[in-house]
A and B are shown apart, each in its own frame.
Chain A
């Protein structure tokens, strides 16, 4: 698990408590219902928005400088002090969150012990986050992708938007490869305001270009959370029978004796995970690895945890 130590402690403690068993949860067909079930009971509350705009709630005054909008000028204060001051308010739309969901064929894998695949799990996580944020009146956008971008919905908060997101998440898997760079580029190109970008993928793809793309997003001020979704078998490679291994994406076949190949596989897998962690931590990005047998509440917890830590960092920076 590549998460900070304190988070891991909370999560392990939480696992003992009453998390919903993902196998039970996945039997519910409706994605929205699943999300509602996960979010239900989760602590909800508005968080302070870092943005300012036209709103009811006043925050502070700022001295006028030429070019500012005259609508926000406080005429009464001008009458009293003969100085121009602008009134600033809290922005009502707090957060813009982009969910980047990998729906390539590799996400269609599931081990024999589980009845649902990684994509189903990732979709539920995405739906849960979307539902949770919608409850908080935050704007949620969605990008589904494989080797190309399949669907793109800009971040909005309006009635029916959540339902639309759920519908798009229901799409079938396609594609013969995974290109993680493309959705990141898309967000960087289209998102004007800073927000949170949640990347849900198995990240079973070369990560050479990932650093550049993530770095670009970070430089625009976006907060990025990577939730890596993996099947338990992918992590441990618990195969016993020698067989022809069939690549779900490329269709390539390979004769593999698991007994002989397991060590080598685990070494390479760890190396890949480590390099991913190194790249992300260098950019200040949290990477959370979720196996599909883990409760989905953890994903929500990871997101909030990431936001909290980010908030503390900002506060510290301001204080400094």
Chain B
């Protein structure tokens, strides 16, 4: 039935007009103003000849002709089938696409989404096909469409319903565009290939937050036959803010943190608190006022007491899913350094004093410098296992054996001979090294004191000891003068590696790998008699690098967002890389793996690459915190065909209307009605003429 049919039918009421005109009392045409009606009384209407119906047949003929024309405008038809059932509906291929991004953890959004999906399943017909997809940063197929040629899956809606209950939102950001493109592409191509009569349709159940990415739709030509029905789930409470710790300024890594606090545009609250926190305790806090839709940068004081706290928590909003921002805390390393030397701990001419000064006051390490006692085991029960030993005195055979065993088990031994005897004993650790001659002013047989100082000329910055100085900004060693060194000769084929040389080509630092550890030997010490090294700015970082080499580094890598691959430091060791996730799971990677991709939740990850443990924080994508609902017209602007949600009954109505239109255009009953109306008018004309002649004759 067309939209105008009721209007046409209303036109039938006009048929009564002639009757009304005939029968109803004629109201006077004129209106006479008069000074007073006090002498007048109403006059009863007079019956005239006009009020009587003379030509009833003519009237009826004219009315019938008018009625037929009106009915013809209504375009009537004869319905063949009495009613339609749900089985008469064309089947549809329904793709249910559920948002599982982190923002769906808000309030009862997930429950709403599941309910919306179940409602879609309830409205399915037996001939419909359904598939279930979830999407966050990528599309996941939970239950696919019926494959061609495959046996039909019995009770598929129930299967989908069961799967629905096992789904949970994850921590990933939302990429709506990619998901839509993938599902639409699949629906379109599968329809083309199979020539399927099923109508494709995508139902997206999401919170449609403004942080959703839809760029992928830009380059995709949306298939015309695939409509998208959007079902938006919305929380009752909308106040949501998140805090993000920004990278620290250079040189202020351990200072106050810069925190960006963003409040969503549809928030109702504007007062928040940002604080340092650990698993079960919290530290310094700062209140911040951020009006809805705005951003503030604040400084969150850290101080020594909050140094080990690993997260910044925002409080005061109504949704917790994005309130924690993980920050890798600098780890305080505990290490034991064994020292064997003849100098006293406070001797300004010795090595030990400068060594102790270099490791003291380090906020990241607590180093215990202990004298090496050969008579006792190197590791006492309950102590931290020493990983580094420094020897400056002559080495006895017994000590050498113990030290070699220590090195083979993974220790690092640094030899810095303080005299000829010690230098001679150094050679016993290297098979291919001999102290051939003396340079500088001769004090002893193999010692030299040069008035003309030497400088470090050639340094291998790829070596872990010098890696921190690899940047051109820090690689200048030309201000450190060396007056005294021991000249060594390497016997070919040399397995000993020269890490640094003086500018005259003499080796300054030697290295040899033994077992799991390594032996390092310096040909010049850092005491003032030998060089300016201890007094230079390079000494403390160099000792730090030595400790890192021995005890493993405390690498802190830049964090990434959830779902982003983490670039791992390169490893030259054959051991596999082990990454420990925040939930305690261990993921083993090949030793040559460059990235770690399973960053599927927020928290602090630990990647063990060789002896170095790299920790990195994985946080929620900032876009996921933009929880203000997006304007769905943006999808239409990018070509997505937005459909309307129709229930089965509404679809049946629509089908019925289509069938009615087809029937009507086939039967064309209106033509016959017009023909009959014309016939009636012809009859009326003839009858009227006859009546007129009759009256004329009577009047004559």
Contact = CB atoms under 8 A, between A and B. Distances in A.
Contacts of A231: 35
A77 B177 CA distance: 132
B37 A254 contact: yes
Interface string A88-121: 0000000000000000001111000000001000
B29 interface: yes
Contacts of A264: 39-41
A241 interface: yes
Interface residues of A, number: 34
Contact of B36 (A106, A260, A261): A106
Interface stretch (A67-75, A214-222, A244-252, A306-314): A244-252
Interface in A104-158: 106-109, 118
Interface in A260-284: 260-261, 264-265, 268-269, 272
Interface string A227-257: 0000100100001011111111110101111
Contacts of A204: 35-36, 38
A234 B32 CA distance: 13
Contacts of A206: 38
A107 B39 contact: no
Interface in B507-541: none
B16 interface: no
B31 A244 contact: yes
Given A241-B28, A243-B32, 7 more contacts: A108-B35, A204-B38, A242-B28, A252-B37, A254-B42, A255-B28, A255-B43
A247 B36 contact: yes
Contacts of A302: none
Interface string B26-70: 011111111111111111011000000000000000000000000
A297 interface: no
A248 B31 CA distance: 12
Contact of B39 (A241, A248, A272): A272
A243 B40 CA distance: 13
A315 to B, nearest CB: 40
A243 B30 contact: yes
17 contacts: A106-B35, A109-B33, A109-B34, A204-B36, A234-B35, A242-B30, A243-B28, A243-B29, A243-B32, A245-B32, A246-B34, A247-B34, A254-B41, A254-B42, A255-B28, A256-B40, A272-B39
A223 interface: no
A14 B579 CA distance: 135
B39 A246 contact: no
Interface of A: 106-109, 118, 202, 204-206, 231, 234, 239, 241-250, 252, 254-257, 260-261, 264-265, 268-269, 272
Interface residues of B, number: 19
Contacts of A257: 43, 46
A242 B27 CA distance: 10
Contacts of B43: 242, 255-257, 260-261
B40 A265 contact: yes
B39 A244 contact: no
Interface of B is mostly: loop
B341 to A, nearest CB: 127
Interface string B86-107: 0000000000000000000000
Contact of A244 (B32, B41, B45): B32
Nearest to A204: B36
B39 A269 contact: yes
Nearest to B43: A257
Contacts of B31: 243-244, 246
A105 to B, nearest CB: 8
A161 to B, nearest CB: 31
A258 to B, nearest CB: 9
B34 A255 contact: no
Interface string B287-331: 000000000000000000000000000000000000000000000
Nearest to B25: A255
A118 B42 contact: no
Contacts of B33: 109, 245-246, 248
Name the residue in B27, B36, B38, B42 with the highest tally of chain A Cβ atoms < 10 Å from its Cβ: B36
A245 B41 CA distance: 10
Nearest to A117: B35
Nearest to B37: A247
Contacts of A106: 35-36
The interface centre, meaning the residue of B29, B37, B41 with most chain A CB atoms within 10 A of its CB, is B37
B30 to A, nearest CB: 3
B46 to A, nearest CB: 7
A109 B32 contact: no
A256 B30 contact: no
A204 B29 CA distance: 27
Contact of A107 (B30, B35, B38, B41): B35
B39 A268 contact: yes
Contact of B40 (A118, A249, A261): A261
Contacts of A254: 37, 40-42
A227 B36 CA distance: 18
A163 B28 CA distance: 46
Interface string B220-249: 000000000000000000000000000000
A256 B34 CA distance: 11
Contacts of A248: 33-36
Contacts of B38: 204-206, 268, 272
Interface string B662-697: 000000000000000000000000000000000000
A107 B34 CA distance: 10
Candidate in B32, B34, B41, B42 with the most chain A CB atoms within 10 angstroms: B34
Nearest to A246: B33
A169 B39 CA distance: 29
Nearest to A261: B43
A37 B43 CA distance: 45
Contacts of B28: 241-244, 255
Nearest to A265: B39
B40 to A, nearest CB: 6
Nearest to B28: A243
B43 to A, nearest CB: 4
A248 B30 CA distance: 16
A241 B35 contact: no
Contacts of A118: 35
Nearest to B32: A243
Nearest to A270: B39
Contacts of A202: 35-36
Contacts of B45: 255
B28 to A, nearest CB: 5
B39 A255 contact: no
A162 to B, nearest CB: 29
A246 B35 contact: no
B42 A255 contact: yes
A257 B46 CA distance: 9
Contact of B32 (A107, A239, A269): A239
